[in-house]
Amino acid sequence: MTTTDTHCPYCSLQCGMRLRAPQDGGEAQVLERPDFPVNRGALCGKGRSATAVLRSGARLTAPLVRAERGGELREASWEEALDRVASGLAAAGRRHGRDAVAVFGGGGLTNEKAYLLGKFARVVLRTPNIDYNGRFCMSSAAAAHRIAFGLDRGLPFPMADIATTGCVILVGANPADTMPPALRHFTGLRANGGTLIVVDPRRTRTAEQADLHLQPVPGTDLALALGLLHLAVADRRVDEAFVAERTTGFEAARTAATAHWPERVEALTGVPVHQLRETLRLFADAPTGMVLTARGPEQQSKGTDTVGAWINLCLALGKAGRPGSGYGCLTGQGNGQGGREHGQKADQLPGYRSIEDPAARAHIADVWGVHPDELPGPGRSAYELLDGLGTAGGARALLVMGSNPVVSAPNAAHVTERLRALDLLVVSDLVLSETAQLADVVLPAAQWAEETGTTTNLEGRVILRRAALTPPPGVRTDLHVLRELAARLGVDEGFPERAEDAFEELRRASAGGAADYAGISYPRIRNENGVFWPCPDEEHPGTPRLFLDRFATPDGRARFAPVTHRPAAEEPDREYPLHLTTGRVLSQYQSGAQTRRVPELNRAAPGPFVELHPRLAARLGVAEGDPLRVTSRRGRAVAPARVTAAIRPDTVFMPFHWAGAGRANTLTNPALDPVSGMPEFKVCAVRVERVR
């Protein structure tokens, strides 16, 4: 039987798997692939059932168009659908100016799609307004990475290094649920004598396996990190030689930390002083150590500063830029890393270049065959773009590719209203997502098992998803869509439909940039099980471990961040007395547009819920399963109670995978981090009532 080596379509691990082609009308089978080092054959339930969403009945198989607003979507030919899109985009530009046309991408798109989508926005539409849902994922960590190290790569070392380090502080991450195959690296750490410390307001399945669990108030991770740095200074734990030789800015960071003495940090965070001291002792005494963050500390209006404070701790203790040590971000989406490197972000060009850098503009313009002055400048970040849809000065036509902001955006009811206000909404997706249901044109897209393309996992390893199946009749690739739309809008060249051709151009565009893929090719990826960037030429081995000799700053030194604690944008008060935090569950993924169509995943996680502590439940007169109304300043959601001692009594938790009455992002606060543009998903003020 024919099998194809490929990778899972879901999280940033990009686990290796094999697909067996269907036999006698059956379905393709997912098989283990032990040779890929990230997961070594292990797969979670989402990965094992990944082909289920490709079934007929679960997916779109023909374009859909809406004759008029309020009318029904109907099937259409590809010619009609593409003509409608091209004419609508052109009309919006003529009537309202080029800035009135916008593009919203996704962190699950391949590198080739992300690259050509950015090129399409800037060369064909000539608009600055392109961003993507990855802005909602790891943008604060990316900003802090660039400030501290001069370069942003999720992990500056391979995943396998986690098992060999002495101590890991895992902040706001629950890999046991969000990326289960990664857990073996953490269990390997403990089996090798290392220590795992988990920082999370909830006692998650990951926290249950930790040597020490810190349970801070949501939104206080910055104070916690500053308190640990304060202790490091006070207890003379600072690695003075490393700080002097390889960093700059320590004095300002040290001064900022002095205001965060242990007792004050306990009052702010709820973490007892003895746990603060034990955390510092374990991390400082370990010969090597890592701090790994995820969405918990990052999805805050001070996320960049918070990540910077955790990086400060690594730098002060000499646990960065050395084998077995460093700061890393557990990227969430499948191609969240590559998706932000090659032009989907409003402020970046391919190769992780700044769109405001004249040299970068000249290089990319030369590759694209245009004049640098023809390239637009930076556009609006993701929420700002969505917030302005249909308004004076905002976009009037929007192309969405691989994203479902009706469920995934903060203040989602408001975002839904803005999408409805557009003159034209176009969605390219595998399924009729909640966002696609609002669209004027829906384009059925081929997916991971049906097309070839590269992604870049959380380690910076560029890998190759190989096509194993033929798309159903009526389904086309996103690269085909971009080529056809470009031609209809007057650009006949530069948008290849063959993924490898697009990647060859991407290599040239990225050459010399921070994320340099120039030496990476499809044959190399096949032969080497992926290649780590930066890889500037074909003789270069790739770079599994960054910063061992120098950091990527102009002087080669890492920079401390002089940050201080500040409250969340919205703190509890008498009207809204509780914290709400949001997150994921094991059997669903992101907005749930795909996983909610897989029966076995729905059986395991059938719907939303509100997690609350028994003391809070008793005060509200709530029992397990009772319907609860959760209300914030932006709206309300209703879901059944899940009573558990695993959460703080002052906090409730909701997963964000569902639409409808239980949509968690109806409640969340769009307050933005001033550096990264990240909304404050992880903390807002709510009240909770039993529905009677």
Instruction: Write out 19-79 in H/E/C secondary structure.
Output: EECCCCCCCCEEEECCCCCCCCCCCCHHHHCHHHHHCCCCCCCCCEEECCCCCCEEECCHH
Name the residue type at position 310: W
Sign of CA dihedral 159, 160, 165, 169: positive
Three-state SS sequence of 401-427: ECCCHHHHCCCHHHHHHHHHCCCEEEE
Q: Which residues pair with 132 in a beta bridge?
A: 105
Q: Which residues pair with 580 in a beta bridge?
A: 652, 684
Name the residue type at position 409: A
Phi, psi of 655 (to 5 degrees): -75, 155
Name the residue type at position 420: R
The pLDDT score that the predictor gives to residue 67 is 84
Mode of pairing for the β-strands spanning 289-293 and 326-329: parallel
Judged by phi (left if over 0) then psi (alpha if -120 to 50, else beta), residue 31 lies in beta
Q: Nearest CA to 7 among 30, 24, 23?
A: 30
Question: Which tens digits make up the pLDDT trace of 358-399?
Answer: 999 999 999 999 999 999 999 999 999 999 999 999 999 999
pLDDT band at residue 83 using 50, 70 and 90 as cut-offs = very high
| Mean pLDDT of the chain, nearest integer | 96
Question: Which tens digits make up the pLDDT trace of 480-537?
Answer: 999 999 999 999 999 999 999 999 999 999 999 999 999 999 999 999 999 999 999 9
Concatenating the DSSP letter of every residue in 115-154 gives HHHHHIIIIIS--S-EEEGGGGTTHHHHHHHHHHHS---S
For 591-597, what is the mean pLDDT?
A: 93
For 132-142, what is the mean pLDDT?
A: 93
The pLDDT score that the predictor gives to residue 1 is 63
For 43-69, what is the mean pLDDT?
A: 91
| Distances 461 to 154, 576, 636 between C-alpha atoms, Å | 10, 44, 41
Q: Is 243 helix (H, G, I), strand (E, B) or coil?
A: helix
For 599-611, what is the mean pLDDT?
A: 96
pLDDT band at residue 260 using 50, 70 and 90 as cut-offs = very high
Q: Which residues pair with 532 in a beta bridge?
A: 461
- Compute the half-sphere exposure of residue 482: CA atoms within 13 Å on the CB side of its CA: 29
Q: Is 17 helix (H, G, I), strand (E, B) or coil?
A: strand
Q: Nearest CA to 540 among 519, 570, 563?
A: 519
Q: Is 202 helix (H, G, I), strand (E, B) or coil?
A: strand
For 123-143, what is the mean pLDDT?
A: 95
Contact between 685 and 633 (Cβ < 8 Å): yes
pLDDT band at residue 403 using 50, 70 and 90 as cut-offs = very high
Q: Nearest CA to 473 among 65, 78, 61, 76?
A: 61
The pLDDT score that the predictor gives to residue 70 is 77
The pLDDT score that the predictor gives to residue 432 is 96
Contact between 598 and 629 (Cβ < 8 Å): no
pLDDT band at residue 683 using 50, 70 and 90 as cut-offs = very high
Alpha helices, H only, 286-381 = 295-298, 303-316, 336-341, 358-368
Q: Nearest CA to 406 among 40, 73, 74, 657?
A: 657
Question: Which tens digits make up the pLDDT trace of 183-231?
Answer: 999 999 999 999 999 999 999 999 999 999 999 999 999 999 999 999 9
Residue 295 pLDDT greater than 80, yes or no? yes
Alpha helices, H only, 353-498 = 358-368, 382-387, 405-408, 412-420, 478-488
In what helix (H) or strand (E) does residue 239 lie, and over which residues does it extend?
A: none
Q: Nearest CA to 581 among 553, 603, 554, 610?
A: 610
Mode of pairing for the β-strands spanning 73-75 and 64-66: antiparallel
d(CA 308, CA 673): 13
Q: Which residue has the tokens 């870049």?
A: 456
Residue 23 pLDDT greater than 90, yes or no? no
Q: Which residues pair with 611 in a beta bridge?
A: 642, 653
Contact between 212 and 282 (Cβ < 8 Å): yes
Residue 25 pLDDT greater than 80, yes or no? no
The pLDDT score that the predictor gives to residue 547 is 98
Q: Which residues pair with 197 in a beta bridge?
A: 169, 212
Go through the chain and tell me how many residues it has. Answer: 692
| Distances 565 to 137, 258, 317, 581, 616 between C-alpha atoms, Å | 22, 11, 21, 19, 28
Sign of CA dihedral 269, 271, 276, 277: positive
Name the residue type at position 234: A
Contact between 389 and 395 (Cβ < 8 Å): yes
Q: Which residues pair with 406 in a beta bridge?
A: none
Q: And the tokens for 375?
A: 């390239």
The pLDDT score that the predictor gives to residue 55 is 82
**How many other CB atoms sit within 10 Å of the CB of residue 12?**
29
- Compute the half-sphere exposure of residue 237: CA atoms within 13 Å on the CB side of its CA: 24
Peptide bond into 599 cis (omega under 30): no
Q: What is the DSSP letter of 445?
A: B
d(CA 388, CA 684): 22
Residues 6+ apart with CB under 8 A from 14: 7, 8, 38, 334, 335, 455, 457, 461, 463
d(CA 237, CA 280): 9
Name the residue type at position 684: C
Q: Which residues pair with 669 in a beta bridge?
A: 680
Q: And the tokens for 91?
A: 């009309």
Contact between 479 and 446 (Cβ < 8 Å): no
For 273-278, what is the mean pLDDT?
A: 98
